[in-house]
């Protein structure tokens, strides 16, 4: 891994970029995953590289829904395993959710590499998706494979950094779908029931905190949080947040400016 | 290359994504180039994946300046060679500019792979940057290498998809710098003399058209186009365009919308 000085103004962005490259070198992350990470970086830059209020609101609703679920599943792909392997396990435990390795570009080698990475953090952790026998209707063969005891029978699924076609197909199956996506305009962001527009490296630790706090809420309280949540409003608020930042920069002018804030 | 159905709503975006992956497989494109491509995709998404008026304005000024140049050079890197090898040669010919292979992550293998790719489209084409002997002041060794007969002595340089440090160093050397960059906030976009905020796959064919049309203009007409151009205004207009689009999308709402325009 390339050594980045901690004093670099974009240290964390460069650190996680290297993590994704490392994920590819470990055989977990697809080449297209690197490109997807770049898209995320750009949107994070526009958001301001922090968790904004509409994301916090979406996370609360998502955690409430996941705590209410009969059978919740968190999907893990190559980018997730590269960025937040330990945090994924912690979130699954806090939510009492199953973990399923589920890949857009599925190969047995990548599934094994991801399982190996996750087991570094908990050798005993149950991982679904190793031998998936069911298929999501409407998706071509390899991309539709899911685990009978995982996504197939889940009522609530958390599919972070997910492809739009797959998110939409899960919604059509009647699943309640939560996604994490930095692009508020992506098809995943538009199609999910709850969209957390945030960087997964910030969102997962925060969702784990929320899960630990909200575990003691009554079902009525959790249901009220879900009921009062409006994903359309959240997405529009994210767009307005980005717009506000661009308005300020356009007004001030950016040409030959050394740094932006 | 992965086969993408032509009917896919995001066919062209996926097609060029595969081109960049193919560029890496051919040894031309660096891993960081894949991530950079993703960042570009994000901004193209926000712009609306079309050439907007401020980009057209910047292209006209850029072509005028390049036609007026004594010694113009177009830089080629791994992403450029993956996306627009043929179009780069066509533009150089239309502008009577030299081509220089110039890499941020320079290795001899990558230089050779890029030269091989370009020569598929014209085996006779003159390519500079194969054995660079000069260095741009202020940049570390490998990143600063330039060709004595190319960028070193050029008065006007076109450096598309370029790193911010390098763009700034070229400006400091007194070069007139034109860049193509989808991110209007990048350091390259902010530091260049003329910034074309557009996808290079749209910009290069359009600039070639403009060059063929404007070759017959008088020097006075070309000078007037350059003189009346304001890069600060262009960048602010791009930000306002994105802002306007986000305002409209936020107002209409994007949740569960099949497509955006």
DSSP chain A: -----TTSTTHHHHHHHHHHHHHHHTT-S-HHHHHHHHHHHHHHHHHTSS--HHHHHHHHHHHHHHHH-SSEEEEE-HHHHHH-HHHHHHHHHHHT-EEEE--SS--HHHHHHHHHHHHHH-TT--EE-SS--EE-TTS-HHHHEE-TTTGGG-SEEE-TT--HHHHHHHHHTT-EEEEE-S-TTSHHHHHSSEEE-S-HHHHHHHHHHHHHHHTTS-HHHHHHHHHT--HHHHHHHHHHHHHHHHHHHHHH--TT-S---
CA–CA min distance B51, chain A (Å): 19
Nearest CB partner across the interface for B239, out of A40, A43, A249? A249
Q: Is the pLDDT of residue B2 over 70?
A: no
Chain segment B35-51, per-residue pLDDT in tens: 999 999 999 989 999 99
Residue from A24, A35, A82, A165 to probe the interface with B (highest B Cβ count within 10 Å) = A35
- Low-confidence stretches of chain A (pLDDT < 50) are none
B97 band by pLDDT with thresholds 50, 70 and 90: very high
Nearest to A103 by CA among A126, A76, A133, A84: A76
Query: What integer pLDDT is reported at residue A204 of this predicted model?
Result: 98
The length of chain B, given as a count of residues? 261
The length of chain A, given as a count of residues? 261
Chain B contact set for A247 (CB, 8 A): 239, 243
Query: What integer pLDDT is reported at residue B139 of this predicted model?
Result: 86
Interchain proximity B41–A31, CB inside 8 Å: no
Residue B126: which H helix or E strand, with range? Answer: none
Query: What integer pLDDT is reported at residue A2 of this predicted model?
Result: 58
Query: What integer pLDDT is reported at residue A9 of this predicted model?
Result: 65
Q: Is the pLDDT of residue B99 over 90?
A: yes
Kindly state the average pLDDT of the residues B190-213.
98
ipTM of model: 0.85
Q: Which residue has the higher pLDDT, B3 or B217?
A: B217
Q: Is the pLDDT of residue B9 over 80?
A: no
Does the CB of A255 have a partner CB in chain B at under 8 Å?
yes
Interchain proximity A254–B242, CB inside 8 Å: no
Query: What integer pLDDT is reported at residue B171 of this predicted model?
Result: 96
Nearest to B78 by CA among B125, B45, B35: B35
CA–CA min distance B124, chain A (Å): 33
Residue from A48, A138, A176, A250 to probe the interface with B (highest B Cβ count within 10 Å) = A250
In angstroms, the CA B144 to CA A50 distance is: 34
Does the CB of A17 have a partner CB in chain B at under 8 Å?
yes
Query: What integer pLDDT is reported at residue A8 of this predicted model?
Result: 67
Interchain proximity A191–B256, CB inside 8 Å: yes
B1 band by pLDDT with thresholds 50, 70 and 90: low
Strand partners, A73: A98, A157
Interchain proximity B38–A43, CB inside 8 Å: no
Q: Which residue has the higher pLDDT, A138 or B195?
A: B195
SS3 B158: strand
B14 band by pLDDT with thresholds 50, 70 and 90: confident
Interchain proximity B235–A253, CB inside 8 Å: yes
A219-227 and A53-68 helices cross at what angle (nearest 10)?
130
Query: What integer pLDDT is reported at residue A192 of this predicted model?
Result: 98
Q: From the CB of residue A53, how many other CB atoms can be counted at a distance below 10 Å? A: 11
Query: What integer pLDDT is reported at residue B248 of this predicted model?
Result: 93
Q: How many Å is the maximal CA-CA distance in chain A?
A: 57
Residue from B191, B254, B257 to probe the interface with A (highest A Cβ count within 10 Å) = B254
Q: From the CB of residue B198, how many other CB atoms can be counted at a distance below 10 Å? A: 26
CB B196, CB B173: distance < 8 Å? no
Tokens of A80: 């997730």
Chain segment A11-56, per-residue pLDDT in tens: 888 899 999 999 999 999 999 899 999 999 999 989 989 999 999 9
Interchain proximity B255–A232, CB inside 8 Å: yes
Residue B192: which H helix or E strand, with range? Answer: none
Nearest CB partner across the interface for A34, out of B34, B45, B239? B34
SS3 B50: coil
Chain A contact set for B250 (CB, 8 A): 235-237, 239-240, 243
Q: What is the DSSP letter of B6?
A: T
B8 band by pLDDT with thresholds 50, 70 and 90: low
Kindly state the average pLDDT of the residues B167-171.
94
> What are the backbone angles phi and psi of residue B100, rounded to the nearest 5°?
-130, 125
- Going A71 to A112 to A188 to A138, the CA torsion angle's sign is negative
Query: What integer pLDDT is reported at residue B107 of this predicted model?
Result: 92
Chain A contact set for B31 (CB, 8 A): 21, 24, 34
Which residues 6+ apart lie within 8 Å of B7 measured at CB? none
Report the mean per-residue pLDDT for chain B.
94
Chain B contact set for A189 (CB, 8 A): 254
Nearest CB partner across the interface for A42, out of B183, B239, B253? B183
Residue from B27, B28, B39 to probe the interface with A (highest A Cβ count within 10 Å) = B39
Query: What integer pLDDT is reported at residue B76 of this predicted model?
Result: 98
B3 band by pLDDT with thresholds 50, 70 and 90: low
Chain A contact set for B196 (CB, 8 A): none
Write out A146-164 in H/E/C secondary structure: ECCCCHHHCCEEECCCCCH
Chain segment B132-166, per-residue pLDDT in tens: 999 998 888 778 899 999 999 999 999 999 988 89
> What are the backbone angles phi and psi of residue B196, rounded to the nearest 5°?
-95, 105
Q: What percent of chain B has pLDDT over 90?
A: 85
In angstroms, the CA B134 to CA A99 distance is: 55
What would the DSSP string read from start to end of B159-185?
Answer: -TT--HHHHHHHHHTT-EEEEE-S-TT
Residue corresponding to tokens 């306002």: B240
- Going A54 to A55 to A60 to A66, the CA torsion angle's sign is positive
């Amino acid at each position: 891994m390339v050594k980045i000085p901690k004093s670099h103004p974009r240290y964390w962005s460069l650190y996680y970029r290297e993590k994704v490259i490392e994920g590819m070198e470990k055989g977990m992350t697809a080449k297209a995953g690197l490109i997807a990470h770049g898209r995320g970086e750009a949107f994070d830059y526009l958001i301001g590289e922090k968790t904004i209020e509409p994301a916090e609101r979406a996370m609360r609703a998502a955690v409430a829904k996941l705590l209410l679920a009969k059978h919740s599943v968190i999907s893990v792909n190559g980018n997730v395993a590269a960025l937040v392997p330990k945090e994924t396990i912690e979130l699954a435990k806090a939510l009492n959710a199953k973990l399923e390795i589920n890949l857009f570009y599925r190969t047995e080698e990548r599934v094994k590499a991801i399982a190996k990475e996750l087991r570094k953090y908990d050798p005993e952790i149950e991982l679904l998706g190793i031998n998936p026998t069911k298929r999501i209707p409407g998706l071509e063969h390899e991309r539709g494979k899911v685990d009978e005891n995982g996504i197939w029978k889940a009522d609530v699924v958390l599919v972070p950094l997910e492809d739009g076609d797959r998110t939409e197909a899960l919604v059509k199956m009647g699943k309640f779908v939560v996604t994490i996506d930095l692009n508020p305009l992506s098809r995943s962001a538009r199609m999910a029931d709850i969209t957390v527009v945030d960087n997964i490296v910030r969102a997962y630790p925060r969702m784990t905190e929320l899960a630990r706090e909200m575990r003691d809420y009554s079902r009525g309280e959790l249901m009220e949080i879900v009921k009062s949540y409006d994903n359309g409003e959240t997405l529009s608020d994210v767009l307005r947040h980005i717009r506000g930042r661009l308005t300020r920069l356009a007004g001030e002018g950016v040409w030959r400016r050394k740094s932006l804030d």
